[in-house]
């Protein structure tokens, strides 16, 4: 939990010094709670920390979106997107998958199997459905990179039925650069037999992690028609993996890249793509939730 507080405070300070989007300054009045919920991990209970932001100037029960970070952990991107959703009258719950596990983030912190940390999403869902301010019939999810992978897995009947229960599922999902090649190629990454809910994928055409936009287009092309009808894709020309970061250009070596052979990944901030993705994200969820 201490890790969550430090990271989010740093995010707020950083956004306060950035002119891009004025995300934090434009946030409406909020009711903010730092919460925690239990999950089982490697046979022992741990506590997952989370930050709940509920717009205070909206009456009635509100829809909510669970925010899932990538391998590197919590960052200012979560604050940036949460602020935009909050302005649209949507509550957000950003969870910290690493703090409760005592993990530093990065490739070494990833679970052994892609679905091992899906109970984190289930716990977040249960927490939200029990909050009086939240409309339990309108809970969605968005995730980046690793979090995007997990978000898409939860939109399959295989995982949703087993973890949330039959006839219960998340009502909408957004995945930022979720490494589409993994699906239906890697054990545990079956993507098909989807729940009845809209799914949106954002990816850059220059994403060199594992084929980027081309891999996502191939994934959608190979889906059964009934599943493909649920999924839409937006590819940003020239955008890289993690195109929505705020810091400078960088590269990193990831053992999971290049179809799990490893390789160097390029990251280039793209402020325009980031801004467009944020607007698209808000429009997607307001439509899915039938939010005025």
Query: Which pLDDT does position 193 carry in this prediction?
Result: 98
Is residue 76 included in any domain, yes or no?
Answer: yes
Query: Which pLDDT does position 60 carry in this prediction?
Result: 92
Is a pLDDT exceeding 90 seen at residue 21? no
Rounded to an integer, what distance in angstroms lies between the CA atom of residue 55 and that of residue 8?
Answer: 18
Output phi, psi for 188, to 5 deg. 85, 0
Is a pLDDT exceeding 90 seen at residue 138? yes
Between 211 and 169, residue with greater pLDDT: 169
For the record, the structure tokens of 250 come out as 């960088």
Query: Which pLDDT does position 122 carry in this prediction?
Result: 98
Query: Which pLDDT does position 10 carry in this prediction?
Result: 40
Say if residues 205 and 236 touch (Cβ distance below 8 Å). yes
Weakest mean pLDDT among 21-30, 71-80, 201-210: 21-30
Rounded to an integer, what distance in angstroms lies between the CA atom of residue 87 and that of residue 19?
Answer: 18
Is a pLDDT exceeding 70 seen at residue 20? no
Query: Which pLDDT does position 8 carry in this prediction?
Result: 45
Query: Which pLDDT does position 23 carry in this prediction?
Result: 52
Is residue 60 included in any domain, yes or no?
Answer: yes
Supply the Cα-derived Rg of the chain in whole angstroms.
Answer: 17
Stretch 128-154: mean pLDDT: 97
For the record, the structure tokens of 131 come out as 């909050």
Is a pLDDT exceeding 90 seen at residue 292? no
The tens digit of pLDDT for each residue in 253-273 reads: 888 888 888 899 999 999 999
Q: Tokens 């509550």 label which residue?
A: 91
Between 262 and 191, residue with greater pLDDT: 191
Query: Which pLDDT does position 147 carry in this prediction?
Result: 97
For the record, the structure tokens of 27 come out as 């946030």
Structural domain that includes position 147? 2-200+223-235
For the record, the structure tokens of 258 come out as 């290049």
Between 21 and 282, residue with greater pLDDT: 282
Query: Which pLDDT does position 7 carry in this prediction?
Result: 43
Q: Assign residue 73 the CATH number of its domain.
A: 3.40.50.1820
How many domains are there within the chain?
A: 1
Is a pLDDT exceeding 80 seen at residue 143? yes
The tens digit of pLDDT for each residue in 105-129 reads: 998 899 999 999 999 999 999 999 9
The tens digit of pLDDT for each residue in 157-180 reads: 999 999 999 999 999 999 999 999
Rounded to an integer, what distance in angstroms lies between the CA atom of residue 116 and that of residue 95?
Answer: 16
Q: What is the mean pLDDT of the chain?
A: 91
Query: Which pLDDT does position 258 carry in this prediction?
Result: 85
Is residue 195 included in any domain, yes or no?
Answer: yes
Is a pLDDT exceeding 80 seen at residue 24? no
Residue 31: which pLDDT band, with cuts at 50, 70 and 90? very high
pTM as predicted: 0.91
Is residue 207 included in any domain, yes or no?
Answer: no
Q: Report the percent of the chain where pLDDT is more than 90.
A: 81
Stretch 179-196: mean pLDDT: 96
Residue 3: which pLDDT band, with cuts at 50, 70 and 90? very low
Is residue 157 included in any domain, yes or no?
Answer: yes
């Amino acid at each position: 939990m201490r890790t969550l507080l430090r990271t989010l405070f740093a995010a707020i300070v950083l956004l306060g010094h950035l002119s891009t989007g004025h995300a934090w300054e434009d946030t409406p009045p909020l009711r903010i709670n730092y919460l925690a919920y239990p999950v089982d991990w490697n046979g022992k209970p741990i506590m997952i920390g989370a930050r709940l932001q509920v717009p205070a100037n909206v009456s009635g029960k509100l829809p909510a979106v669970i925010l899932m970070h990538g391998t590197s952990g919590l960052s200012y991107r979560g604050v940036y997107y949460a602020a935009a959703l909050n302005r649209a009258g949507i509550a957000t719950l950003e969870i910290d998958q690493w703090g409760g596990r005592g993990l530093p983030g990065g490739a070494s912190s990833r679970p052994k199997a892609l679905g091992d940390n899906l109970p984190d999403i289930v716990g977040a869902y249960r927490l939200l459905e029990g909050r009086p301010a939240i409309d339990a019939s309108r809970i969605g999810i968005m995730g980046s990179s690793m979090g995007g992978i997990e978000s898409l897995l939860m939109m399959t009947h295989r995982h949703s039925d087993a973890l949330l229960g039959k006839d219960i599922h998340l009502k909408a999902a957004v995945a930022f650069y979720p490494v589409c090649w993994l699906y239906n190629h890697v054990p545990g990454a079956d993507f098909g037999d989807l729940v009845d809910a809209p799914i949106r994928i954002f990816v850059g055409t220059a994403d060199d992690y594992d084929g980027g936009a081309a891999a996502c287009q191939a994934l959608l092309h190979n889906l059964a028609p009934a599943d493909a009808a649920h999924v839409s894709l937006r590819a940003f020309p020239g955008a890289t993996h993690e195109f929505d970061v705020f810091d400078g250009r960088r590269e990193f070596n990831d053992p999971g890249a290049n179809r799990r052979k490893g390789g160097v990944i390029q990251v280039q901030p793209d402020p325009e793509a980031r801004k467009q993705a944020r607007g698209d994200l808000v429009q997607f969820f307001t439509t899915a939730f039938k939010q005025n």
